[in-house]
Amino acid sequence: MRILLVEDEPDLAAGIARALRTGGYSVDVAPDGEEGLFKARSTDYDAILLDVMLPLRDGWSVLEALRRSKRTPVLMLTARDKAVDRVRGLDTGADDYLVKPFDLSELLARVRALIRRSAQHPDPAIVVGAVHIDQAARRVTRGGEPVGVTAKEYAILEYLALHRGRLVTRSDLYEHVFDETDDSFSNLIDVHISNLRRKLGHDLIATRRGLGYFIE
């Protein structure tokens, strides 16, 4: 899952980005509203964390402009806990908001819930045959036995499982599982997929040659 963080305070942005990456997300960061809007329009993020007070263009204006073309889930980060701000945020099309200062663990919990809601998959557990994916704990079991997967393997598996029954193209995976800091070669996805097959069973993920991947 790939997240855009629009936040102008460098220390806070670095802290949030680190927490999100530790939580297994790919993260792009924008330090002002203009760059935030540009990135939000040009990439299909799984969620956007949007600060309200930003240079060049404030969070409200970014959200308003974005909503003309995209439904990406947005969590507003607001410095003030005033009813008028909350109402404005929800009216403008924010999906949730968090008042600063907040706990990073609460932020991560909100992000997970936001992504689950938008994937229309409210249950944090995904079951595919004998494979059980616990999205809250980011743990995978097969036939009840824990299976160790790397952060990228987990991210690819989770994305495919959330979109089961649909073809997921390689570019979908690049867009949602990797971020602008990843320096990846095009065959890397194949390596992750073959590791997942080795660990979880060879029939779990089907390949549509030249198109992408598929979980039944």
* Contact status, residue 148 vs residue 112, Cβ threshold 8 Å: no
- What is the smallest separation between the CB atom of 93 and Ca ion, expressed in angstroms? 20
Question: Among residues 53 and 99, whose Cβ is nearest to Ca ion?
Answer: 53
- What is the smallest separation between the CB atom of 66 and Ca ion, expressed in angstroms? 17
In the complex, which residues of this chain contact Ca ion (CB under 5 A)?
Answer: 8, 51, 53
Question: Among residues 82 and 202, whose Cβ is nearest to Ca ion?
Answer: 82
* Contact status, residue 11 vs residue 102, Cβ threshold 8 Å: no
Residue facing Ca ion at closest CB distance: 53
Pairing of strands 47-51, 74-78: parallel
Measured N-to-C along each axis, helices 170-177 and 188-200 cross at an angle, to the nearest 10 degrees, of: 90
- What is the smallest separation between the CB atom of 7 and Ca ion, expressed in angstroms? 6
Question: Among residues 58 and 172, whose Cβ is nearest to Ca ion?
Answer: 58
For residue 12, what are its two tokens?
A: 């806070």
Question: ∠174-179-181 over CA atoms, to 5°?
Answer: 130
Question: Among residues 100 and 121, whose Cβ is nearest to Ca ion?
Answer: 100
- What is the smallest separation between the CB atom of 9 and Ca ion, expressed in angstroms? 6
Largest Cα–Cα separation, the chain: 54
Spatial separation of the C-alpha atoms in residues 120 and 73, rounded to whole Å: 12
Question: Among residues 102 and 167, whose Cβ is nearest to Ca ion?
Answer: 102
- What is the smallest separation between the CB atom of 52 and Ca ion, expressed in angstroms? 7
